Amino acid sequence: MKPEERKLLSEMTVVELQAKSRDLRQEMFNLRLQQASSQLEKPARLRILRRDIARVETQISKHRNSAA
């Protein structure tokens, strides 16, 4: 995720963040299937996705904590 995209995360709503998380998790699932069948071209993408998911989940938590 590029720095510009990281800034946009803080401006997104919880619903948008949840959709983004769902998309990232789906991509992670697909990459894990490729890894299991030895067809994964960029193994580093798994690590990047895991970190991006954590960033999105952190923003969701921040939104929920500020609303509570």
Q: What is the pLDDT of residue 37?
A: 96
The mean pLDDT value of the chain amounts to 93
Classify burial at 53, counting beta carbons within 10 Å of its beta carbon; exposed 0-12, middle 13-18, buried 19 or more: middle
Q: Which residue has the higher pLDDT, 25 or 67?
A: 25
Q: What is the pLDDT of residue 1?
A: 80
> pLDDT digit string (tens) for 24-56?
999 999 999 999 999 999 999 999 999 999 999
CATH of domain 12-67: 1.10.287
Q: Which whole number is the average pLDDT over 19-28?
A: 97
Residues 55 and 38: their CA atoms lie apart, in Å, by 28
